Amino acid sequence: MSQALLHIGLLAAGTSRRMLGADKLMQPVGDTPLLRQQARRCIDNDLPVTVALPPGFAARRQALEGLDLRQITVTADPPGMGDSIAALARDLIARDTRAALLLLPADMPEIDLQDIKSIAAEFARQPDQPLRATSVNGQPGHPVVFPARMLSGLAALSGDQGAQRLLKQDPPRLMALPADHAVCDLDTPQDWAAWRARQS
């Protein structure tokens, strides 16, 4: 399989309910909002990128201005993880039934360009099997890559139901990324404060 048949779905439709009024995806990493940083890292892989966004949240759309990517809106209220995954899968099926989908939550600042390149290259070795990133210690995390044959299952998800059931039925190959890259997601002000303290 050519890597041209791998698409990246960036999950950015959550409403940051645990951030006490702030938007976790607009938190600055250096001088760049997290969402824009992660979108750039996806784009720099030279793979097609689609971002799933909630209705409204104009600042997120503004943060993505000028980037070569596709945006879709998840209309569920509120959008759950399953709704976001399903929207990305349905959008991809409508455009390219041969394509695989790499799913990456946008709130994972330690997933870098090389991590995405490594996952894409490893998936290309066995493109009919799902692939899941883990921490260096083996804790399952993200990104997760789903072959084209699994997209219909993803398209049927809803609410907060993620893809765990599908991965139990069709266990993924595992690939360790450095340190805790694959499991570091930042959902609360406390998460952000602790992460920034580790960076200093």
Per-residue pLDDT band at 48 (split at 50, 70, 90):
very high
Residue tagged 């765990």 (tokens): 164
Tell me the pairing of strands 100-105 and 6-11: parallel
Give strand pairing partners of 73. 53
Please write the tens of the pLDDT for every residue from 125-156: 999 999 999 999 999 999 999 999 999 999 99
Per-residue pLDDT band at 160 (split at 50, 70, 90):
confident
Q: How many independent structural domains does the chain possess?
A: 1
Please write the tens of the pLDDT for every residue from 80-123: 899 999 999 999 999 999 999 999 999 999 999 999 999 999 99
The pLDDT mean for the chain works out to 93
**Which CATH number belongs to the domain containing residue 124 in this structure?**
3.90.550.10
Over 50: is that where the pLDDT of 1 sits?
Answer: no
- pTM across the whole model: 0.95
> Residue 38 class from Cβ within 10 Å (0-12 exposed, 13-18 middle, 19+ buried)?
buried
Domain of residue 70: give its range. 3-199
What is the percent of the chain with per-residue pLDDT over 90, rounded to a whole number?
84
Please write the tens of the pLDDT for every residue from 67-87: 999 999 999 888 889 999 999
